[in-house]
Amino acid sequence: MRGVSVVLAVVAALVLAFLALTARAEEPPVTILRAANSYDVRADGSYVNDYELEMRVANDASARREGQQAISYSPAQEELQVVAAYTHKADGSMVPVAPTAMRDQLAPGTADRGVITDLRERVLIFPDLAGGDTLVYHIRRLVHRAALPGRFFASIYLSRSVPLLDYTLTVRAPRDMPLLTEAHDLDATKSVAGDSMIRTWHARIPLADETDSVLGPYDRLPRVFISSEPDYASFARDYAALLAPHMRVTPRIRALAEKIAGSEPSRREQARLLYEWVDAHIRYVALYLGDGALEPHDAEQVLASGWGDCKDHVVLLNALLAARGIAADFVMLDLGNQYSLSVPPTFAQLNHAISYLPEFDLYADSTALLAPFGTLPFSEYGKPAVHALTEGPVLWRVPALPADAAMMELRTVATLHDDGSITGQTATAATGPFAVELRRDAAWVQATGDGAAASSQLSALGDQGSGSFAFDPPDRLAPSYAVSGRFTLDARPDLLDGDSFTLPAGLRLLARPGDVLLPAGAGGLPADAAAPCYSGRQVEEVVLTLPPGRRVQRLPADLRIDGPAIIYRGTWTQHDATVTHRAELQVRTRNVLCRGDERRMMAAALTRIRRDLHAQVRLAQQVSAQN
């Protein structure tokens, strides 16, 4: 019996050891043990923000990745202080971050020629950080000036990509400062201390897979919005008052508007000419509304410098329009995948600015790069928008993309030769937002060089070869646009020996049927989730002539999809030595966010369409009729 007991004890010890190893192996690489975020708000809207973080790393690889923490800040708007920073070792000892290990650097992207920002990063380098240790820091931001005079805004979202065991958000503000708040997936409490009202939110966020998420963080993640603006009408008035001095019509602005529009009798044509001048002559540099100062430069200063961000573009264009007596609103919206506005007015979901011309009921974005007057990029259609006005309605929605506005059609005619090489031609035509993207592609070809761009594009499509493009200047902003190309693909004798292959799309530049219009990545979303979708038409036809004595063994099956919102036809034909695949998709939806059955049907259709587009053929020797 004693021997049995010993054996059982050993087995139990081994089981416990195995369970301990399994638990350790399942521990996430990074766990946030505690995060505390507090705002001490003053009556003028300035504030002090303290943020404390305790992050445990499970292994040495995670320690190497997380050992440098970068904290973004704007020196023009705030002072950043490091109150404490140290490595808390697993044995209980603490190793402080030395002052020499706290470095300032440019924020990522600021070295790009298309990006100008005042953002910087304070990088903290944690010493002796290893698996099982915890990095700890406490930073303080002293924000001396409110975004809008006398107003306070805060917007916070919490990622689910790392488990967060304890999160606390605290806002202390004067009792007579009314704050409007909205919280999702956080618990809220209130208390009073002297002349202050203290609002507290608490959450515990488990790890969750977000790889299929398609909406922006302020539409789906645990989040809190806080604003001292009572409503969007007040918010719009306050911002309009800040903008107005920058849109003054000066003698120089008036003279330029006269020079551009001249004696053109049509007011809409005048507006188009002014828009195209700003698009062509004012270089756009990216500085999103929420990332830097909210105040634009004066229109005349933008004109003198020749560059500006979205706010600068709008103030100059609106000033030029005003010089011709054409009214234009300054409009704020989101440029990404956020399709809602919080009840408390904040800038969190308003990171871009465009113009609205009420006389023509038309939105225009002169920063959209090669977009014709009145055409917007896909991402701006259907977005909620705030018009910065002193009176009248301020909450609007950009109309959804009209059913027949976006079209693209690609046709490739190619020949497979006896040595396995392929030569051919590709023609692409597009309208609406697709034409905007095709013009950008043409501009990329110009900047890269014709031959280099063709080789690079073929390589990106999985082919090796050479080619050339032909197109009209992309800055001629007509409603439609076309690009053609010639290509030669390197010899692949295996195609003649029976290997399967997809028909060559040639010098394809735009997305394939289904991509862009249908909700990509939406197959794994929860049943009630929403995803962006657009009306439009996409056609791709590839015609391949085979060498003598060859034919396709068996054509892939045709695909036919008929739904309330989409029609798709994928057809395969073979006539003599020519095989053709034609894919045509028509999407008609009144929505910009597809939900429920419509989204699920579209996601399922996209999977089938992609399978059809990637179907392969195999060649065989043609048997003569004599045999």
364 and 425 assigned to the same domain? no
Q: What is the pLDDT, as a whole number, of residue 30? A: 97
pLDDT band at 18 (very low <50, low <70, confident <90, very high): very low
Strands 283-284 and 307-308: parallel
In a domain, 626, yes or no: no
In a domain, 16, yes or no: no
| Cβ within 8 Å of residue 603, ≥6 positions away | 518, 519, 522, 523, 525, 531
Residue 4 φ/ψ, nearest 5 degrees: -60, -40
In a domain, 12, yes or no: no
* Residue 33 tokens, joined: 């043990």
| Cβ within 8 Å of residue 449, ≥6 positions away | none
Q: What is the pLDDT, as a whole number, of residue 423? A: 97
pLDDT band at 292 (very low <50, low <70, confident <90, very high): low
Please report, in angstroms and rounded to a whole number, the separation of the first and last CA atoms in the chain: 85
CB atoms within 10 A of CB 527: 9
pLDDT band at 513 (very low <50, low <70, confident <90, very high): very high
CATH number for the domain including 354? 3.10.620.30
In a domain, 371, yes or no: yes
| 345 within 8 A of 290, measured Cβ to Cβ | no
Residue with token string 């916070």: 156
| 510 within 8 A of 571, measured Cβ to Cβ | no
The angle formed by the CA atoms of residues 616, 622 and 627, to the nearest 5 degrees, is 150
Of 92-106, 256-270, 280-294, 433-447, which range is least confident? Answer: 280-294
566 and 461 assigned to the same domain? yes
pLDDT for residue 346 is more than 70: yes
Query: Secondary structure of 440-461 in the HEC alphabet?
Result: HHHHHHHHHCHHHHHHHHHHHC
Give the model confidence (pLDDT) of 386-398 as tens digits.
999 999 999 999 9
| 173 within 8 A of 153, measured Cβ to Cβ | no
195 and 245 assigned to the same domain? no
In a domain, 14, yes or no: no
Q: Which residues of 476-497 are buried (b: 16+ CB within 10 A; e: fewer)?
A: ebeeebbbebbbbbebbeebbe
CA distance 318 to 323: 9
429 and 531 assigned to the same domain? yes
Choice between 304 and 9, residue whose per-residue pLDDT is larger: 304
pLDDT band at 529 (very low <50, low <70, confident <90, very high): confident
10 Å CB burial of residue 4 (0-12, 13-18, 19+) is exposed
472 and 575 assigned to the same domain? yes
Q: Where is the domain boundary, 228, 246, 278? A: 228
Residue with token string 């695949």: 581
- Average pLDDT for 293-306: 91
| Cβ within 8 Å of residue 84, ≥6 positions away | 136, 137, 138
CATH number for the domain including 554? 2.60.120.1130
71 and 207 assigned to the same domain? yes
82 and 173 assigned to the same domain? yes
Alpha-carbon distance values, 287 to 115, 183, 352 (Å): 7, 28, 9
Q: Where is the domain boundary, 339, 374, 397? A: 397
Which pTM was predicted? 0.88
Mean of all residue pLDDT scores within the chain? 90
Give 137's DSSP letter: E
In a domain, 596, yes or no: yes
441 and 565 assigned to the same domain? yes
Give 400's DSSP letter: P
Q: What is the pLDDT, as a whole number, of residue 524? A: 61
Q: What is the pLDDT, as a whole number, of residue 74? A: 85
Q: What is the pLDDT, as a whole number, of residue 549? A: 87
CB atoms within 10 A of CB 288: 19
Q: Where is the domain boundary, 228, 243, 265? A: 228
Long-range contacts of 302-311 (CB under 8 A, 24+ apart): 303/252, 303/253, 303/256, 306/281, 306/282, 307/116, 307/282, 307/283, 308/282, 308/283, 308/284, 309/116, 309/284, 309/285, 309/367, 310/284, 310/352, 310/353, 310/354, 310/365, 310/367, 311/353
Of 67-81, 210-224, 253-267, 365-379, which range is least confident? Answer: 210-224
CATH number for the domain including 169? 2.60.40.3140
Listing DSSP states for 547-562 in one string gives: PTTEEESSPPPPEEEE
Give the model confidence (pLDDT) of 157-166 as tens digits.
999 999 999 9
In a domain, 279, yes or no: yes
376 and 431 assigned to the same domain? no
User: Bridge partners of 481?
Assistant: 430
Strands 407-416 and 536-545: parallel
Of all residues in the chain, what percent carry a pLDDT higher than 90? 78
In a domain, 308, yes or no: yes
357 and 485 assigned to the same domain? no
450 and 420 assigned to the same domain? yes
CA distance 451 to 453: 5
Q: What is the pLDDT, as a whole number, of residue 285? A: 82
Task: Give the range of the structural domain holding residue 247, as residue numbers without chain letter.
Answer: 235-397
CA distance 221 to 268: 42
Number of domains, the chain: 3
Q: What is the pLDDT, as a whole number, of residue 2? A: 45
Of all residues in the chain, what percent carry a pLDDT higher than 70? 91
Give the model confidence (pLDDT) of 328-343 as tens digits.
999 999 999 999 999 9
216 and 243 assigned to the same domain? no
| 234 within 8 A of 394, measured Cβ to Cβ | no
